[in-house]
Amino acid sequence: MAISENALKPATIASLAPFLAIGVVAVLLPFVGNDYWAVIGTRAAIYWVLVAGLNLIVGFAGQLAIGYVALLTVGAYVTSILAAGTVLPPVPLPLCFAAAAGVGALFGVLVGLPALRLRTFYFAISTLGFATIVTQIALAWRSVTGGGVGLAGPEFPPPFNTAWGFYGLCLGAASFATWISANIAHSRFGRALVAVRDADVAAEANGISKAILLIPIFLLGGAMAAVAGGLFATLQTYITPDAFTFDLSIMFFIAILIGGRGSILGPMIGTIVLTILPEAAAPLASWSTFLYAALLLVIVLAVPGGIADLIDFKNRRAITEERMIVPKPALLPQLFAHRPTPAALTLNGVVLAFGGVRALDGVDIVVRPGEVHGLIGPNGSGKTTALNVISGYYAPQEGEARIGGDPLPAGRPELRAGLGIARTFQRPRLVAAETVLENVMIGGTISGRAGFLATLLSLPGRGRDERELEARATRALQAVGLEALAGVKAGRLQHGEQRFVEIARALMLAPAILMLDEPAAGLSSDEIRRLGELIAEIAKQGVGVLLVEHHADFIFEICRHVTVLDQGRVLAAGTPAEIRSHREVVDAYLGR
Ligand code: ADP
Ligand code: MG
């Protein structure tokens, strides 16, 4: 593993320690165990090659792929058929595995594609359907697969043809699988996966396209599963379709669930435990499915976060109670060094009705670069809906939104970040299970340079991206006054603090337009004052700020222009002084 500056931090060493411990046990196993243990160890290593890839799909991206045994089957048959030379002339082993990885990657995407359209449950069923189809084809296509009789698995040359030799090879494969999955997990891709899982709307607003993100993950997961399949065929020495049971699929899935979502160590321990468990309970072999299910129930009920949560001691420490948000607006110019060209945001005659309710009824708004534009109005007057139209979540029935004269395509919210439009949400949308710093880094996803392959193999670009993102996120956190909480899981923060984390995340884009949806809700009066200073300073960087608020005084103090909405219509628009003296506004809203 390349030693970066990162690897020398005590926190990094602490997080590597459990992996080293497992590695030491694995390396010592041949010196203390017999051939029986060689088989179990080999099996655990092979399963992990599959689970490490599947973990990115299930544990990180939250996609319920439960029929993954199908890809193990595909890999086992492709390698065995090519190595046996019954259909084509015999192919050298490395090529057999390369072919299996290729076919597995292809099938990985085919199985995964429905996830882009189907809701979780239906996707889970579609992966199961695929598993059934693969088994049926293996049974029926006798001339190639040997049907129910099966065929011999590939044989490795010395020194890998002994029990411990093959164990060593599989251990190497498992280590490599761990390394590449960790490279992805600890990168903008890994953080984006978790964002898609836990905060998909915010992920889109930060420029993350679920489809573009998931396709390389499905390719990788499929390739890793198929390679595991080839090794599995060698371990079995002979494969038949009934070696690839539904139980196995469930086992992979449960290993990830009991391991804990968004962790690598947890599912690794889960895989090892679930491989050994049926052996330890050999007399109970016929009960193994029952045991898996029971174990799953216990974990889900007692420790919903899985093993990863059990061993996460750091996040059980109390966070300091005496904490105040003190932004440092002076740091903002550093964040806006590479700003998109300033551009005005306009809404022209936007109409949007939900059934009978006209949430927006001909709304015109212009937000100019460098000015704070207040959007006020009673509850339900259409403020959030206006932001959602700009974000692209809704297509207006009439009128349009534009930035710098270009229309904003509706239905493509993931394009907004690239156009320099950032936002926060009325109800904060953070990844509760990730640290504050990681949440802010999600905001910089689209500025990463290293591609998927470079990240997978930890080429220098990945390290550069990570250092750059971390430095910028740290600066953004300092600017909003939350740097003391950088290492705390976002779910443990108070609502007011979460709003500031969202502002920091939005600042990562160095946006031309920043939309804030009721950022002052739940703040103390001191904090509101400081928030006002921060927003004013953001506008000074040339950013057009569209500020939705309830607190009228707060708005009047920092806005240059104010638009008042009432039942989807613009009741009044003008300077704070004009609004303050607008009779209808005073009667209907300000109530003074
Ligand atoms: P505000 O942010 O000003 O409090 P909203 O923009 O959230 O108001 O809502 C404006 C109106 O549109 C409300 O009557 C609300 O019930 C309705 N509305 C908003 N979103 C939806 C939706 N997705 N489906 C149906 N009605 C909606
Ligand atoms: Mg609202």
What are the pocket residues of ligand 1 if the criterion is a CB atom closer than 6 Å to any ligand atom?
354, 357, 359, 377, 379-385
Distance 354 CA to ligand 1 centre (A): 8
- Ligand nearest to the Cα of 569, by number: 1
Distance 514 CA to ligand 2 centre (A): 16
Q: How confident is the model at residue 282 (pLDDT cuts 50, 70, 90)?
A: low
Average pLDDT score over residue span 206-212: 93
Buried b (16+ CB within 10 A) or exposed e, 435-467: bbbbbbbbbbbbbbebebebbbebeebbbebbe
Q: Which ligand 1 atom lies nearest to the CA of residue 565?
A: 3
Average pLDDT score over residue span 257-261: 89
Atom 1 of ligand 1: nearest residue by CA position: 380
| Mean of per-residue pLDDT scores for the chain | 89
Superfamily of domain 329-590: P-loop containing nucleotide triphosphate hydrolases (3.40.50.300)
| Among the listed residues 348, 330, 347, 366, the one whose alpha carbon sits nearest the alpha carbon of residue 544 | 366
Q: Are the C-beta atoms of 81 and 145 separated by less than 8 Å?
A: yes
- Ligand nearest to the Cα of 426, by number: 2
Q: Are the C-beta atoms of 571 and 565 separated by less than 8 Å?
A: yes
pLDDT digits (tens, 9 = 90+) for 450-477: 999 999 999 999 999 999 999 999 999 9
Q: How confident is the model at residue 291 (pLDDT cuts 50, 70, 90)?
A: confident
Buried b (16+ CB within 10 A) or exposed e, 401-412: bbbbeeebeeee
Q: How confident is the model at residue 534 (pLDDT cuts 50, 70, 90)?
A: very high
Q: What is the residue whose two structure tokens read 């290593």?
A: 45
Distance 379 CA to ligand 2 centre (A): 7
Atom 25 of ligand 1: nearest residue by CA position: 354
Whole-number pLDDT of residue 124: 84
Q: Which ligand 1 atom lies nearest to the CA of residue 568?
A: 10
Distance 565 CA to ligand 2 centre (A): 12
Q: 3-class SS at 398?
A: strand
Atom 26 of ligand 1: nearest residue by CA position: 354
- CB neighbours of 197 closer than 8 A, spacing ≥ 6? 60, 61, 62, 261, 262, 431
Distance 252 CA to ligand 2 centre (A): 42
Burial bucket for residue 74 (CB in 10 Å: 0-12, 13-18, 19+): buried
C-alpha distances in Å from residue 317, one per residue of 176, 312, 313, 470, 505? 33, 10, 7, 23, 25
Atom 24 of ligand 1: nearest residue by CA position: 354
Q: Are the C-beta atoms of 516 and 344 separated by less than 8 Å?
A: no
Which is more confidently placed, 325 or 46?
A: 46
Whole-number pLDDT of residue 3: 41
- Ligand nearest to the Cα of 375, by number: 1
pLDDT digits (tens, 9 = 90+) for 82-126: 998 888 888 899 999 999 999 999 999 998 888 887 777 788 888
Distance 501 CA to ligand 2 centre (A): 19
Pocket test for ligand 1, best of 360, 363, 385, 426 (most atoms within 8 A of CB): 385
Distance 227 CA to ligand 2 centre (A): 50
pLDDT for residue 321 is more than 70: no
Q: 3-class SS at 388?
A: helix
Alpha-carbon distance of 107 to 113, in angstroms, equals: 10
Atom 17 of ligand 1: nearest residue by CA position: 359
Q: Would strands 357-367 and 345-354 be described as parallel, antiparallel, or unpaired?
A: antiparallel
Q: Which residues pair with 407 in a beta bridge?
A: 402
| Among the listed residues 403, 432, 386, the one whose alpha carbon sits nearest the alpha carbon of residue 563 | 386
| Among the listed residues 304, 321, 224, the one whose alpha carbon sits nearest the alpha carbon of residue 261 | 304
Alpha-carbon distance of 522 to 540, in angstroms, equals: 26
Stretch(es) of the chain classified as CATH 3.40.50.300:
329-590
**Which DSSP symbol is given to 265?**
H
Atom 20 of ligand 1: nearest residue by CA position: 385
Distance 386 CA to ligand 2 centre (A): 9
pTM comes to 0.91
Q: Which ligand 1 atom lies nearest to the CA of residue 518?
A: 2
Q: How confident is the model at residue 10 (pLDDT cuts 50, 70, 90)?
A: low
pLDDT for residue 49 is more than 90: yes
- Ligand nearest to the Cα of 382, by number: 1
Atom 6 of ligand 1: nearest residue by CA position: 382
Atom 7 of ligand 1: nearest residue by CA position: 384
Atom 5 of ligand 1: nearest residue by CA position: 382
Pocket test for ligand 1, best of 201, 351, 352, 354 (most atoms within 8 A of CB): 354
pLDDT digits (tens, 9 = 90+) for 115-172: 887 777 788 888 888 888 998 898 888 888 888 888 989 999 999 999 999 999 999 9
Average pLDDT score over residue span 178-186: 96
Distance 569 CA to ligand 2 centre (A): 15
Distance 492 CA to ligand 2 centre (A): 24
Distance 385 CA to ligand 1 centre (A): 6
| Among the listed residues 359, 498, 480, the one whose alpha carbon sits nearest the alpha carbon of residue 424 | 498
- CB neighbours of 567 closer than 8 A, spacing ≥ 6? 358, 361, 380, 381, 382
Helix/strand/coil (H, E, C) string of 434-500?
CEHHHHHHHCCHHHCCCCHHHHHCCCHHHHHHHHHHHHHHHHHHHHHCCHHHCCCEHHHCCHHHHHH
pLDDT for residue 1 is more than 50: no
Pocket test for ligand 1, best of 357, 547, 566 (most atoms within 8 A of CB): 357
- Ligand nearest to the Cα of 517, by number: 2
- Ligand nearest to the Cα of 356, by number: 1
Alpha-carbon distance of 51 to 592, in angstroms, equals: 64
DSSP per-residue letters across 496-519 = HHHHHHHHHHHHTT--SEEEEEST
Distance 548 CA to ligand 2 centre (A): 8
Alpha-carbon distance of 277 to 43, in angstroms, equals: 12
Whole-number pLDDT of residue 592: 47
